[in-house]
Structure 1
Amino acid sequence: MLRVVVLVSGGGTNLQAILDKIKDGTVKNAEVVGVISNNHNVYSLTRAENAGIPNAVVSAKDFPTREEFNNALLEKVDSFDPDLVVLAGFLVVIPPAMIDKYENRMINIHPSLIPSFCGTGYYGLKVHEAALARGVKVTGATVHFVDKGTDTGPIILQKAVNVLPGDTAKVLQQRVMEEAEWIILPEAIDMIANGRI
């Protein structure tokens, strides 16, 4: 059984997609053993509670230095003894020591078709605003392994989503989540859990 720890910063819709796909048997041989947020009072923690999953908050605001936060984050991840770390809307720069320790065992979901609209500064609505400003007709989402660059690790899965006339960044964000992110993130976990990657 693949032990998965999910790192989140907000509402946790990708976390919910993972939990739902494990529950309905779409994702086999995997279990979420812990959820870690860098923010207090976010709905993702409630989702974890509702599913009976141990959860914790490690917030940079609670530490005097970035180094202490980084150490505490790695310590908390380690405490769950994960086989796979999943960044599901985790808006934190991952410490190099953590990337080294979980090399090829940490994945991220990004709301564009990498290499478009990715890298430093591209997160949340900013990705979709950039796609609309550029006038692209197709966007989507990418699941990739995490390396020391920003959105530069090897790509596992991508799924395209059409941009429709009149889309706002918020409308497009929702469509990308529903039609791509919530599908390919659980699928990538299933592939890893069952030796297909």
Structure 2
Amino acid sequence: MKRIAIFASGSGSNAEKIAEYFSERPDVEISLILTNNPQAGVIQRARRLHIPVVIFDRTTFYETERISKLLQNESIDLIVLAGFMMLIPDFLVKSFANRMVNIHPALLPKYGGKGMYGQFVHEAVVAAKEKESGITIHYVNERYDEGNIIFQASCEVLESDQADDVATKIHALEHFHFPRVIDQVLAKSHL
């Protein structure tokens, strides 16, 4: 059985879609949801889905190996970042090299990097009068949004679109594609 840990900092809609996608699969388990935000909506979603939740603080994440050891003790095969807002420490990236994926709400390399997440990305896309935006699913390395790209999907941005309109289109792409791409990563890898 392949075991997935999901890291999320916000509402958790992607985490829920991933859990739903794999819910009928005996060969894949969402084993843990981890968050750095004790008020994150993902906590309630995880509880409703009966997925164990781990809440941690900045010091625990960056200055101890507690999270890394937990992931190893739980025999986690793949880490999925689904709206997780912290840079992954080098030691964790190395421990899970090519076994950690992230989703970004833009077509990287555009609109990536520190501080470029969620609504900030959509506002930048609209301000730049882009004709398209989309999602990028990529492996995680030591820098924000610079890991090798696994998959991209795009959507049209209309002249009349506001940031919220773009966000709605991006969420639809995320919810459809992210679970399927994770499934492909699991199938292709020798985890």
Q: Secondary structure, in 3 states, of the residue corresponding to 1:9? A: coil
**Cα offset, 1:23, TM superposition:** 2.7
How many residue pairs were aligned?
190
**Judging changes above 3 Å, is the alpha-carbon distance between structure 1 residues 84 and 184 closer, same or farther for their aligned structure 2 residues?**
same
CA–CA separation in structure 2 for the residues paired with 1:79 and 1:58 = 17
Identity of aligned residues (%): 32
Q: Which residue of 1 is the match for residue 188 of structure 2?
A: 195
CA distance in 2, matches of 1:47, 1:76: 21
| 1:130 matches 2:130 | no
Measured after TM superposition, the shift of residue 66 of structure 1 is 7.0
1:13-53: CA deviation from partner (whole Å, max 9, x where unpaired): 1001101211366xx83210000010002210111111111
Indicate the residue corresponding to 1:20 in structure 2: 20
Q: Does the CA-based 8 Å contact 2:79-2:100 persist in structure 1? A: yes
Matched, 1:91 2:85: yes
Matched, 1:118 2:112: yes
Q: Do 1:158 and 1:184's aligned partners in 2 also have CA atoms closer than 8 Å?
A: no
Partner of 1:47: 45
1:142–1:76 Cα change, 3 Å: same
| Alpha-carbon distance, 1:79 to partner | 3.8
Deviation at 1:181, TM superposition (A): 1.0
Q: What is the rounded CA distance, in whole Å, between the counterparts of 1:138 and 1:122 in structure 2?
A: 17
Return the TM-score normalized by structure 2.
Answer: 0.91
SS of structure 1 residue aligned to 2:65: helix
Matched, 1:176 2:183: no
CA RMSD of aligned residues (A): 2.0
**Any unmatched runs of 5+ in structure 2?**
none
d(CA) in 1 for partners of 2:96, 2:134: 26
Could you give the per-residue CA deviations for residues 81-130 of structure 1, whole angstroms, max 9, x where no partner exists?
21000000000011000000000000000000111111122112111111
Secondary structure at 2:135's aligned position in 1?
Answer: strand
The structure-2 alpha-carbon separation of the partners of 1:31 and 1:186, relative to structure 1 and needing over 3 Å to count, comes to same
Matched with 2:7 is 7
The answer as to 2:125 corresponding to 1:139 is no
Q: Which of these residues, 157, 161, 164, is aligned with residue 163 of structure 1? A: 157
Unpaired runs of at least 5, structure 1: none
Relative to the length of structure 1, the TM-score reads: 0.89
CA distance in 2, matches of 1:76, 1:66: 11
Look up the match of 2:72. Answer: 78
> Cα gap change, 1:149/1:67 in structure 2, threshold over 3 Å: closer, same or farther?
closer
Contact 1:58 1:72 in 2 (8 A): no
